[in-house]
Structure 1
Amino acid sequence: MATSNINLKDPKYYFNRELSWLEFNYRVLHESLDERTPLLERLKFLAIFSSNLDEFFMVRVAALKQQVQANVIKLSPDGLTPSEQLITIRNRLRPLVKEQDHLFEYTLRSLLIAQGIYLINYVDLDQEQRTYLHQYFEDYIFPVLTPLAVDPSHPFPYISNLSLNLAVIVREPDTNEERFARVKVPQVLPRFVALPKELRHQEDDQTALWTGVPLEQVIAHNLEALFPGMIVQECHAFRVTRNADLSVEEDEADDLLLAIEQELRKRHVGKSAVRLEIHTSTPESIKLRLMEDLELEEIDIYDIDGLLGLKDLFYFMSIPRPDLKDPSWSAVVPTFLQRVKEVVDGNEDGKIEGEGEDIFSLIRHSDLLVHHPYHSFVASVQQFITQSAYDPDVLAIKMTLYRTSGDSPIVNALITAAENGKQVAVLVELKARFDEENNILWARRLEQAGVHVVYGLVGLKTHTKVILVVRRESNKMRRYVHIGTGNYNPKTAKLYTDLGLLTCREELGADLTDLFNFLTGYSRQKSYRKLLVAPFSMRDRMIGMIRREAEHCRNGGSGRIVAKMNALVDSPIIEALYKASQAGVKIDLIIRGICCLRPKVEGISDNINVISIIGRFLEHSRIFYFHNGGDEEIYIGSADWMTRNLSRRVEAITPIDDPNIAKELQEILGIMLADNRQAWELQTDGSYIQRYSSDNGPEQSSQNIFMEMALKSAGNV
């Protein structure tokens, strides 16, 4: 095949972004299907699958529907119009939703019963259990319910986003006239109502561990209390999803904080509906009425065989059965951090209590790489920030906050730093989707404490994960930095795999100084010494390094690229990878989620392999390796190879100059490439096939291996 005549922009060489995401979510669902997954973890993955779908509809499907309404006909890279994409989404998603429902209703429920966990339907209760739930209804549920009539004098009520509801048909006993009402299942109450121990199921003289009933069924079987004097004919559950993306005209917003607060109020109310989930038993008349009132079409309707809103299955992770869950994992403190003294408290003169070295002396000795959740976030990144807040020689702290926890000790440390007289500047990204409200609260609290808070740049999200600490040492200033792949969030650091570099290399410190001046002031800095920064140099530098590998091959050498990220969407990057493959570069891509590149196409991507790893931790780190003719280069940072990351966000990726850390990162990549437990291989047709150890030797789970390595690094093995 003459590669020079091939049009690499041809749609047939690209996967649809939305369908690729659905394939990712299917891999999440498969963790529930996989019998090797502990039972309660299988419920958790069902909940994650459902929660992911909610966000997918609120953002991605909503955006496509808006394009259709605006008569947008621009084709996606794979050649589909917005309308065609909505149809393909529907066709792919219907069987997935059915598979999810059947798995829960006909497999997992039975397996739960075998373990003494009974989630039962109200109709299967005995009289004593019904009597208890009737009293529970009167005492705890009835007072918070608000039935809403729908008739000429009562317009169809607004159905809030992601709410679970009952469509109720009642009949006037005198006139036999039927009326329609809506009852919202209150989200302030637990979704599953547990029975007391004495009313639980008994098996072989053993009391069940848990017995409960879905809240909506308790309401449905006690509706007479809501409609006295009426005859309840029938009721059917339904659930609505709405467009929840924010639309803020930043150029017109004098106060971005206020503008986003106003948009958040709209989100809580919700915008146009994009999906209706109803039980398959719902009569056509009720379905059509809901469709008309919500302004939805048949393509927006999803029939559910069992329970609606399975994201509430997270509830069952609270059941005390550790044998039905993954083995517990607590992040360890590696030996190189065990010498660091912890901040116990800051006394009046700002000294740090505790024994050992301060973290700055360790960083001066050598660069440090931390790998979460295997290495402790609290003992590394959080300790770095906290010591900076109390250390009298630290003069300034600057950092970006994209997402953090609701009770963030990092934010508290920054407030302490400001109270201790240090210059503290924090860029809070108010447009971090679904964390806007949390970030607004922290932004106001930081401002009240005297922290300089900025909200980023018009038209750009600040997604980079960086900290700059300026410290006075021996009559000179030294800059310490942290550059990471993940958010400064102690909670998600226990669930997401991320990397972070702690260093005091002068060029990186100078680069971060320039970057913060760009973020907070009027600097128009576009060139940096070491950092690859989006939206300026990152795409060009990445494409340049990909082309360099191809050039090595054309000159008789070898080329090698290994890249790990969350998503690969950017067409110019994909085209560069195709050309590198054609030149003979061996390319391995580890992409957790969306991948629009089509691998193993003859003459196009013969040399490209793509795997996805799905496990107990969410793969979130980004690593980029280039062989460069033996003069290897490796990078970590915040950006995926997506158009939004490279063109519409502020991102930073750092080279790794420490040879020991470079080798460690190469080992991480090698372990993941050898995974035959959680790894899935992307096929030319867009499907994924999971690797199995029986076909590839002994089982090798990369995440389990990293846990074992972390234990060894802490001296625990």
Structure 2
Amino acid sequence: MKETTNYPIRHRDLNWLSFNDRVLQEAKDETNPLYERLKFVSIFSSNLDEFFRVRVSQLRQIKKVNKSLRKKLAFRPNKILKEILKKVNEQQEELGAIFFDTIIPELKENNIQLLSFEELNTSYLEEATSYFNENIKELLKIDTIKASTNSDVFLENSELYFLVTFKSAMQYGIVNIPSDQLPRFVELKVDGDQHVIAFIDDILKSQLGGLFPKEEITNSFAIKLSRDAELYLEQEIDGELDQTLADLIYESLSQRLEGQPTRLLYDSSMPKEVRKNLRKSLGLGKVDMVAGGAYHNFDDFIKFPEPTDNKKLKAEKLSSIKHKAFQEADNYFDVIREKDQLVHFPYMSFDYVQNLINQAATDELVREIKISLYRVADHSALTDALLLALENGKKVTVFIEAKARFDEENNIKWGRIFEDKGAHVIYSYPKIKVHSKVMLILREEGKKLRRYAYIGTGNFNAQTSKFYCDHGLFTAHKKITKELHRVFKVLQGDMIIPRAKRLLISPFTTRATLEELIRNETEAAKAGKPCSITAKMNQLEDEKIIKLLYKASIAGVPIRLIVRGFSRLIPGVKGLSENIYMTSIVDQFLEHGRIYKFHNLGKPLMFTGSADWMTRNLDRRIEVLTPIYDQDIFKELDDILNIQLADNVKARVHTEKEDNQIVSSTDSKTVRSQIDIHSYLLDKN
């Protein structure tokens, strides 16, 4: 879809599906270990689920806008929804082929038999019946609904059910599949060397006859309903005085479970008449119906058992790299004061961040710790360290992002724990999120307070740091830390606008600075001077930035981009973006770091931090990007960026056709950037 502008731009949702295609490619790639491919099957399914709960639900909201207004704004949600469903159906078919034609046979070759329903019913019914009676039976909720009549049966978001059809077609049965309370995959027995595993779905299916003794069952079909994930906080707009935003969100979480349907995923073998009747019974529209396979919730394959302990079936674990400066240090403050330090996840342990907070909690000279938390781990050494700091009388200020989608409940829970222990806890502001990953420690040295800062690209979360590729800068740079202190003053309500000459702080200075830097490269190109823009990010969406990149390309600026997810910019268009080359890396870990580099007339500038080139990151979120001043760290990030730019194993090219072809290279050297970065950091440390 092209917007009503004088330059081409993609529709973000359609291009996001292209990103999920890249995930599906990894599930299909037989050079990946088998359990790595199962992991990508899980990621693909999880991504698609969130896509329907968030993006498709927003398109449905747009449909409610007055048609004449939609026309003026060039919004055509019905057209986009049709294109989305067409693409999703193609992807679902490919997923089914990958799973049944390659993954299941390969599991069997490795002595793991994932049973079909027919195999279970024929050869393992005794074991299935025993498991059903001992584990499943007491967890079932059994309902009946009248065919083609509105029903008050409520299907929980993303939970699995069977729709059971009877010889008497006047009604249907609905039974929950309790995969939310029991393992989805049940190890039934070992036959020789073969480990026999069944879907809990099929174990239940084999027993359906006993659940409806008065009916003659003709068939059963797996169904799953996805519901709108957005929280519509009307009270927030009304400005109620007695409740904080955190309270509103906490009370509104149930809305997510009860939100409007965005997709009913059904077994594609379901007859048309049954589909029609079910749709009417659940009050759904035709656009809500999406055909799938006999099994849903493939994201459960992230927990698929590995009973053989065959190491060849999994990706080789990379050794954890010890940070040269921190590893032997008794006092992190001495190390950071002497020189900026940089850590890289998951290649290095998140312990380095947690250790600094722990030292701050017990250091007699530390007076205060300030931290912004976007996705709080359920329980971690980091939260323990903050609680220890409070026990030791340190002043602790914690900014909790209460609107971090799907993590609100946990975030608010921890906010209340910190409050109870004496921390100053600040929650989100209406209409703006705090997405920055920053920490500031104030330490009394001599008669002055020295500031120590951490600025990262990823969340303060030890679990996600194991599979998210991120960077984190530790610095005591006086001007950087002074400006970061101003950011926290804004969060605390003590300052409206943080003055900043070095940090890029959204929504205050990031956009203006980035736009100026792009224009500078454009002017350099027009003057015949050396110029270049190199950038790595998760998403590229902002129209103003894209338009400036097009203008820079037209002027002759070589632009090299790595965009993992969706991009609205179309590279390689003759006369417009032919100087823009863009790739995406999908591999063992999720690429999450942001690095921005500008030639700047031979005095290159580099920034890293939390902000993508998306409108929300530039205009509606508190974000922090830090310049890299330390020359050793500059070179280290530059080397890492160059390794990623050279990837010819896991990098796909963004093109006009968006066909996700692997980068072709005339260079005989194979570069798989995640493996090569690990080797590079291992050599350095």
Q: CA deviation at 1:359?
A: 0.2
| Paired residues of 2:158 and 2:225 also in contact (CA < 8 A) | yes
1:99 aligns with 2:94: yes
**Does structure 2 retain, via aligned residues, the 8 Å contact 1:151–1:179?**
yes
* Preserved CA contact (<8 Å) 1:279 1:303: yes
The letter for the 2-side match of 1:31 is E
The count of corresponding residues between Structure 1 and Structure 2 is 677
Q: Following the alignment from structure 1 to structure 2, what is the Cα–Cα distance between the partners of residues 75 and 120? A: 50
* Cross-structure match for 1:167: 163
Deviations 1:286-329 (A, max 9, x none): 21122123333333322223422211111226542321111012
> Hey, what does 2:207 align to over in structure 1?
222
Instruction: Letter of the 2:221 partner, please give it.
Output: H
**Residue 345 of structure 1 aligns with which residue?**
none
Contact 2:223–2:266 under 8 Å retained in 1: yes
Structure 1 residue 20, shift from structure 2 partner = 1.1
- Equivalent residue, structure 2, for 1:579: 551
Structure 1 segment 306-321 matched on structure 2, within 5 A: 306-316=294-304, 318-319=306-307, 320-321=309-310
Q: Deviating runs (4+, > 6 A) in structure 1?
A: 73-78
Pair 1:358 & 2:358 matched: no
CA distance in 2, matches of 1:642, 1:151: 47
The correspondence of residues 111-130 of structure 1 with structure 2, limited to 5 A, is 111-125=106-120, 129-130=124-125
Q: Is 2:174 the counterpart of 1:182?
A: yes
Q: Which residue of 1 aligns with 2:627?
A: 655
Judge conservation of contact 2:231–2:253 (CA < 8 Å) in 1.
Answer: yes
Q: Indicate whether 1:608 and 2:608 are aligned.
A: no
Match 1:367 to one of 324, 340, 363? 340
Assess if the C-alpha contact under 8 Å between 1:236 and 1:282 holds in 2. yes
- From the superposition, tell whether residues 74 and 682 of structure 1 become closer, same or farther in structure 2 (CA, over 3 Å): farther
Query: Offset at 1:653?
Result: 0.5
Residue matched to 1:463: 435
Q: Closer, same or farther in 2 for the Cα pair 1:364/1:76, shift >3 Å?
A: farther
Provide, for residues 434-467 of structure 1, a one-character-per-residue CA deviation record: whole Å limited to 9, x for no partner. Answer: 1111101111111111111000322100000100
* CA distance in 2 between partners of 1:78 and 1:595 (Å): 21
Q: Aligned equivalents of 1:609 and 1:127: distance in 2?
A: 55
Within a 5 Å distance, the mapping from 1:484-523 to structure 2 comes to 484-523=456-495
- Structure 1 residues 72 and 610, CA gap change in structure 2 (3 angstroms): farther
Q: More deviation in 560-569 or 682-691?
A: 682-691
**Is 1:196 paired with 2:189?**
yes
> 5 Å matches for 1:319-330?
319=307, 320-330=309-319
For 1:215-254, list aligned pairs within 5 A.
215-249=200-234, 250-251=236-237, 252-253=239-240, 254=243
Q: Distance in 2 between matches of 1:669 and 1:120?
A: 45
User: 1:335 corresponds to which letter in structure 2?
Assistant: K
**Post-superposition offset of 1:237:** 1.1
Q: CA deviation at 1:92?
A: 1.7
Which of 50, 53, 65 is matched with 1:55 structurally?
Answer: 50
Match of 1:335 among 324, 328, 331: 324
Q: Is it true that 1:255 corresponds to 2:228 in the alignment?
A: no
Letter in structure 2 aligned against 1:358: N
Counterpart Cα distance in 2 of 1:596 and 1:585: 19
Q: 2:372 aligns with which of 400, 404, 412?
A: 400
Q: CA 1:72/1:505 → structure 2, altered by over 3 Å: closer, same or farther?
A: farther
Question: Is the contact between residue 11 and residue 77 of structure 1 (CA under 8 Å) also seen in structure 2?
Answer: no
Unaligned runs of 5+ in 1: 1-6, 201-205, 341-356
Q: Is the aligned partner of 1:644 residue 2:633? A: no
* Residues 631-690 of structure 1 deviation map (CA, whole Å, 9 limit, x = unaligned): 110000100000111111110101111111111111111111110011111112333211
The residue aligned with 1:386 is: 358
Distance in 2, Cα, partners of 1:108 & 1:276: 26
Match of 2:26 in 1: 31
Q: Which amino acid aligns with 1:226?
A: L
Distance of 1:368 and 1:72 partners within structure 2: 55
User: How much has 1:600 moved relative to structure 2?
Assistant: 1.2
Is 1:397–1:423's contact at 8 Å kept on the other side of the alignment? yes
| Contact 2:162/2:175, CA 8 A, preserved across alignment | yes
Shift of the 469–310 alpha-carbon distance from structure 1 to 2, 3 Å rule, reads: same
The answer to whether the Cα contact below 8 Å between 1:169 and 1:178 also exists between their aligned partners in 2 is no
Distance 1:76 1:38, change over 3 A: farther
Please report how far the alpha carbon of residue 168 of structure 1 lies from its aligned counterpart in structure 2 after TM superposition: 1.3
AA matched with 2:177: V
2-side partners of 1:9 and 1:603: how far apart?
A: 19
Q: Give the equivalent residue in structure 1 for 2:286.
A: 298
Q: Secondary structure at the match of 1:13?
A: coil
Please say if 1:710 is aligned against 2:660: no
- 1:207 aligned to 185, 188, 193, which one? 193
CA contact (8 A) 1:273 1:295 kept: no
Residue among 268, 271, 274 paired with 1:283? 271
* CA-to-aligned-CA distance 1:329-381 (integer Å, 9 cap, x gap): 243212122222xxxxxxxxxxxxxxxx3000001111011111112211x21
Counterpart residue type for residue 212 of structure 2: F
> SS state of the match for residue 252, structure 2?
helix
Superposition pairs of residues 12-31 of structure 1, within 5 angstroms? 13-31=8-26
Cα shift at 1:11:
6.2
Greater mean alpha carbon deviation, residues 250-259 or residues 105-114: 250-259
* Matched residue, 1:349: none
1:527, CA displacement in angstroms? 2.6
Tell me, yes or no, if the aligned pair for 2:264 and 2:290 is still in contact at 8 Å: yes
Shift of 1:404: 2.3
TM-aligned CA deviation for residue 484 of structure 1: 0.7
Alignment CA distance shift 1:281-1:194 (3 Å): same
In structure 1, what is the equivalent of residue 412 of structure 2? 440
Question: Separation in 2 of the partners of 1:263 and 1:414?
Answer: 28
**Distance of 1:389 and 1:266 partners within structure 2:** 39
- The answer as to whether partners of 1:16 and 1:78 remain within 8 angstroms in 2 is no
Q: CA deviation at 1:196?
A: 2.4
Q: CA deviation at 1:177?
A: 7.1
Separation of aligned partners in 2, 1:672 and 1:129? 49
Cα distance in 2 for residues equivalent to 1:189 and 1:317:
13
Moved more, 144-153 or 443-452: 144-153
TM-score (norm 2): 0.95
- Structure 2: which 5+ residue stretches go unaligned? none
* Offset from partner CA, 1:538-577 (integer Å, 9 cap, x none): 1111000000111112222011110000000000000111
Alignment map for 1:561-580 (pairs within 5 Å):
561-580=533-552
Using the size of structure 1 for normalisation, the TM-score is: 0.91
How far 1:425 sits from its partner (Å)? 0.1
Question: 1:105 touches 1:306 (CA, 8 Å); kept in 2?
Answer: no
8 Å Cα contact 1:370-1:499 kept in structure 2 = yes
Deviation at 1:80? 5.3
What's 1:700 paired with?
671
* CA distance in 1: counterparts of 2:601 and 2:283, whole angstroms: 59
Q: How far did residue 386 of structure 1 move?
A: 1.2
